[in-house]
Amino acid sequence: MSNRSPVLFDVGWNACINCGACVAICPQPEPFISPFDTIAVDRPCDIACMLCEDICPVSTIEHTVLDGSIKDIPNGNGRSDIHP
């Protein structure tokens, strides 16, 4: 969990392979899922742990921080420190 600002996720549908990994990793206690079986994109995520971005096999999830700034996440960026 983090103390970051809430974020709004954006799924690049052209690259999404509907694998469901983003939903599987999501730690939200309540379902946080879109009608297309991806992470929800129509409401803010107040946990902002970014695990959904980290697990995506094709790096097609990005987010907007809801304090107004925009964070672009190119391939692999946003991943946690590397450890086994």
Question: Minimum Å distance from CB 49 to another protein?
Answer: 9
Question: Minimum Å distance from CB 47 to another protein?
Answer: 11
Nearer to another protein, 27 or 43 (CB): 27
| Residues lying near another protein in the complex (CB under 8 A) | 17-21, 23-25, 27, 29-31, 33, 37, 51, 54-59, 75-76, 79-84
Question: Minimum Å distance from CB 59 to another protein?
Answer: 5
Cβ-based burial of 19 (10 A; exposed 0-12, middle 13-18, buried ≥19):
middle
Dihedral sign (CA 77, 9, 16, 56): positive
Nearer to another protein, 33 or 65 (CB): 33
- d(CA 29, CA 9) in angstroms, rounded, equals 17
Nearer to another protein, 70 or 82 (CB): 82
CA angle 13, 60, 74 (to 5 degrees): 140
